Structure 1
Amino acid sequence: MERPRGAADGLSRRPHGLGLLLLLLLLLQLLQPVTLGQDRLDSPPPPPARTLHWPGPVGVSWGPRADPGPIPRGGRWRRSALGEDEDCGQVRDFVARLANNTHQHVFDDLSGSVSLSWVGDRTGVILVLTTFHVPLVIMTFGQSKLYRSEDYGKNFKDITNLINNTFIRTEFGIAIGPENSGKVILTAEVSGGSHGGRIFRSSDFAKNFVQTDLPFHPLTQMMYSPQNSDYLLALSTENGLWVSKNFGGKWEEIHKAVCLAKWGSENTIFFTTYVNGSCTDLGALELWRTADLGKTFKTIGVKIYSFGLGGRFLFASVMADKDTTRRIHVSTDQGDTWSMAQLPSVGQEQFYSILAANDDMVFMHVDEPGDTGFGTIFTSDDRGIVYSKSLDRHLYTTTGGETDFTNVTSLRGVYITSMLSEDNSIQTMITFDQGGRWKHLRKPENSECDATAKNKNECSLHIHASYSISQKLNVPMAPLSEPNAVGIVIAHGSVGDAISVMVPDVYISDDGGYSWMKMLEGPHYYTILDSGGIIVAIEHSSHPINVIKFSTDEGQCWQIYTFTREPIYFTGLASEPGARSMNISIWGFTESFLTRQWVSYTIDFKDILERNCEERDYTIWLAHSTDPGDYEDGCILGYREQYLRLRKSSVCQNGRDYVVTKQPSICPCSLEDFLCDFGYFRPENDSKCVEQPELKGHDLEFCLYGREEHLTTNGYRKIPGDKCQGGVNPAREVKDLKKKCTSNFLSPKMQNSKSNSVPIILAIVGLMLVTVVAGVLIVKKYVCGGRFLVHRYSVLQQHAEADGVDTLDTASHANKSGYHDDSDEDLLE
Structure 2
Amino acid sequence: MDSAIIDIVWCGAHNQSNDNILVMSSKGTIYLSQNNGDDWQKFAEVFHRKGLLVLQDENEKVGVVNKIQKSPIDPQLIIFLGTEFVNWISPDCGQTINAIYTGRQMREFQFHPKRKDWILASSWSKCQMKQKDCYVTKDLMLSQDMGLNWEVIAKYVNQYSWGFKSPYNEVIPEERIMITYEPNGKGHQQLSGWNMKTHLFYSDDFMKTKTMLVNQGNKFQLTPNHVFVAQVMNSSNQEVTLLVSESDQYEYNFRYVQMPDILKDHSYTIVDSQYGAFININHLKPSSIMGTTYISDSTASRYRISLNYTVRTEEGQCDFERVLGLEGIYLANVYASEQAELYQSEIDEDSPRIKEGDLSKFKQTKITFDKGSRWQPLTPPVVDSEGKKLQCDSKSCSLHLHSVSTKMQFGPFYSTKNSIGLILGTGNIGKYLSYRPDQVNTYMSRDGGLTWFEIAKGSHIYEIGDHGGVIVLASDQQATKVLKYSWNEGLTWEVFQFSEQPIEITNIITEPSNIGTRFIIYGTSDLFINEENIEQGNIVKIDFSQIHGRECIGEDQPSSENSDYELWSPTGKINPDCLNGNENAKCFNGEDLQRQHSVQYCQCTEEDWECDLNFHRENSDPNAKCIPYELYEQNFEAPENCEDYYEVTRGYRRVAGNKCQGGVEYNPVSLLCPGFKFWKFRNIWDFMLICIFAAIVYFIYKNRHHFSKKQDHKMEQQQSARAYGQKNG
> Normalising by the residue count of structure 2, what TM-score does the alignment of the two structures yield?
0.74
Answer whether contact 2:139 2:155 (CA < 8 A) is retained. yes
Residue 185 of structure 1 deviates from its aligned partner by: 0.8
Which residue of 2 is the match for residue 276 of structure 1? Answer: 185
Query: Could you tell me how far apart the structure 2 residues matched to 1:111 and 1:718 are?
Result: 53
Task: State the SS of the aligned residue for 2:407.
Answer: helix
Answer whether contact 2:22 2:32 (CA < 8 A) is retained. yes
Equivalent runs, 1:624-703 vs 2, <5 Å: 624-625=571-572, 645-683=580-618, 684-692=621-629, 694-696=631-633, 698-699=635-636
| Higher relative contact order (Cα pairs below 8 Å, separated by 6+ residues) | 1
Task: State the SS of the aligned residue for 1:436.
Answer: coil
Query: Could you tell me how far apart the structure 2 residues matched to 1:385 and 1:130 are?
Result: 44
Q: Which of 120, 127, 133 in structure 1 is aligned with 2:22?
A: 127
Task: State the SS of the aligned residue for 1:531.
Answer: helix
Equivalent runs, 1:388-787 vs 2, <5 Å: 388-398=304-314, 401-424=316-339, 425-447=362-384, 459-469=397-407, 472=409, 475=410, 477-503=411-437, 504-542=440-478, 544-587=479-522, 588-593=524-529, 594=532, 595-615=534-554, 616-625=563-572, 645-683=580-618, 684-692=621-629, 694-696=631-633, 698-699=635-636, 711-732=647-668
Residue 455 of structure 1 deviates from its aligned partner by: 5.8
Structure 1 residues 700 and 311: CA distance shift in structure 2, 3 A: farther
Task: State the SS of the aligned residue for 1:111.
Answer: coil
Q: Which of 88, 103, 128 in structure 2 is aligned with 1:200?
A: 88
Residue 714 of structure 1 deviates from its aligned partner by: 2.1
Query: Could you tell me how far apart the structure 2 residues matched to 1:291 and 1:468 are?
Result: 42
Query: Could you tell me how far apart the structure 1 residues matched to 2:297 and 2:45 are?
Result: 54
The C-alpha deviation readout for 1:289-308, integer Å capped at 9, x for no partner, is 12344444211111123221
The C-alpha deviation readout for 1:36-62, integer Å capped at 9, x for no partner, is xxxxxxxxxxxxxxxxxxxxxxxxxxx
Residue 169 of structure 1 deviates from its aligned partner by: 6.1
Structure 1 residues 469 and 648: CA distance shift in structure 2, 3 A: farther
Which residue of 1 is the match for residue 242 of structure 2? Answer: 328
Which residue of 2 is the match for residue 303 of structure 1? Answer: 216
Residue 734 of structure 1 deviates from its aligned partner by: 7.5
Q: Which of 11, 14, 39 in structure 2 is aligned with 1:155?
A: 39
Answer whether contact 2:323 2:423 (CA < 8 A) is retained. yes
Which residue of 2 is the match for residue 227 of structure 1? Answer: 114
Task: State the SS of the aligned residue for 1:223.
Answer: strand
> Does 1:319 find its partner at 2:232?
yes
Residue 321 of structure 1 deviates from its aligned partner by: 7.2
Which residue of 1 is the match for residue 79 of structure 2? Answer: 185
The C-alpha deviation readout for 1:713-749, integer Å capped at 9, x for no partner, is 22222221111222333342689999xxxxxxxxxxx
Query: Could you tell me how far apart the structure 2 residues matched to 1:652 and 1:455 are?
Result: 38
Query: Could you tell me how far apart the structure 1 residues matched to 2:235 and 2:87 are?
Result: 45
Query: Could you tell me how far apart the structure 2 residues matched to 1:335 and 1:216 are?
Result: 35
Residue 288 of structure 1 deviates from its aligned partner by: 0.9
> Does 1:117 find its partner at 2:9?
yes
Which residue of 2 is the match for residue 176 of structure 1? Answer: 70
Query: Could you tell me how far apart the structure 1 residues matched to 2:338 and 2:473 are?
Result: 35
Q: Which structure 2 segments of 5+ residues have no match? A: 52-60, 126-137, 340-361, 555-562, 675-729
Task: State the SS of the aligned residue for 2:610.
Answer: strand
Task: State the SS of the aligned residue for 2:467.
Answer: helix
Task: State the SS of the aligned residue for 2:148.
Answer: coil
Task: State the SS of the aligned residue for 2:373.
Answer: coil
Query: Could you tell me how far apart the structure 2 residues matched to 1:116 and 1:685 are?
Result: 44
Query: Could you tell me how far apart the structure 1 residues matched to 2:298 and 2:671 are?
Result: 18
Structure 1 residues 516 and 251: CA distance shift in structure 2, 3 A: same
Q: Which of 264, 277, 289 in structure 2 is aligned with 1:373?
A: 289
Residue 227 of structure 1 deviates from its aligned partner by: 2.4
Answer whether contact 1:154 1:602 (CA < 8 A) is retained. yes
Which residue of 2 is the match for residue 264 of structure 1? Answer: 163
Query: Could you tell me how far apart the structure 2 residues matched to 1:480 and 1:507 are?
Result: 11
Which residue of 2 is the match for residue 386 of structure 1? Answer: 302
Task: State the SS of the aligned residue for 1:665.
Answer: coil
Q: Quick one: which amino acid aligns to residue 383 of structure 1?
A: T
Corresponding pairs, count: 588
Residue 116 of structure 1 deviates from its aligned partner by: 2.3
Structure 1 residues 368 and 114: CA distance shift in structure 2, 3 A: closer
Q: Quick one: which amino acid aligns to residue 312 of structure 1?
A: N
Q: Quick one: which amino acid aligns to residue 301 of structure 1?
A: V
The C-alpha deviation readout for 1:624-645, integer Å capped at 9, x for no partner, is 33599xxxxxxxxxxxxxx993
Which residue of 2 is the match for residue 242 of structure 1? Answer: 141
Query: Could you tell me how far apart the structure 2 residues matched to 1:662 and 1:721 are?
Result: 19
Task: State the SS of the aligned residue for 1:129.
Answer: strand
Q: Quick one: which amino acid aligns to residue 244 of structure 1?
A: S
Query: Could you tell me how far apart the structure 1 residues matched to 2:670 and 2:105 are?
Result: 53
Task: State the SS of the aligned residue for 1:662.
Answer: coil
Q: Which of 276, 288, 291 in structure 2 is aligned with 1:361?
A: 276
> Does 1:340 find its partner at 2:275?
no
Query: Could you tell me how far apart the structure 1 residues matched to 2:571 and 2:504 are?
Result: 41
Structure 1 residues 345 and 567: CA distance shift in structure 2, 3 A: same
Query: Could you tell me how far apart the structure 1 residues matched to 2:200 and 2:311 are?
Result: 31
Which residue of 2 is the match for residue 146 of structure 1? Answer: 30
Structure 1 residues 351 and 146: CA distance shift in structure 2, 3 A: closer
Residue 533 of structure 1 deviates from its aligned partner by: 1.0
Query: Could you tell me how far apart the structure 2 residues matched to 1:672 and 1:715 are?
Result: 14
Structure 1 residues 225 and 648: CA distance shift in structure 2, 3 A: farther
Aligned-pair identity in percent equals 25
Structure 1 residues 131 and 481: CA distance shift in structure 2, 3 A: closer
Which residue of 2 is the match for residue 780 of structure 1? Answer: none
The C-alpha deviation readout for 1:398-440, integer Å capped at 9, x for no partner, is 3x65531112114221111111113432111000111111000
Greater radius of gyration (CA): 2
Query: Could you tell me how far apart the structure 2 residues matched to 1:295 and 1:697 are?
Result: 48
Residue 172 of structure 1 deviates from its aligned partner by: 4.0
Answer whether contact 1:123 1:150 (CA < 8 A) is retained. no
Task: State the SS of the aligned residue for 1:592.
Answer: strand
Answer whether contact 1:426 1:498 (CA < 8 A) is retained. yes
Query: Could you tell me how far apart the structure 2 residues matched to 1:586 and 1:375 are?
Result: 36
Task: State the SS of the aligned residue for 1:664.
Answer: coil
Task: State the SS of the aligned residue for 2:32.
Answer: strand
Residue 456 of structure 1 deviates from its aligned partner by: 5.7
Residue 491 of structure 1 deviates from its aligned partner by: 0.3
Answer whether contact 1:175 1:221 (CA < 8 A) is retained. no
Answer whether contact 1:199 1:212 (CA < 8 A) is retained. yes
Answer whether contact 2:48 2:62 (CA < 8 A) is retained. no
Answer whether contact 1:314 1:334 (CA < 8 A) is retained. no
Residue 356 of structure 1 deviates from its aligned partner by: 1.1
Q: Quick one: which amino acid aligns to residue 276 of structure 2?
A: M
Q: Which structure 1 segments of 5+ residues have no match? A: 1-106, 133-143, 191-196, 629-642, 739-829
Answer whether contact 1:676 1:682 (CA < 8 A) is retained. yes
The alignment yields a C-alpha RMSD, in angstroms, of 3.4
Structure 1 residues 209 and 436: CA distance shift in structure 2, 3 A: same
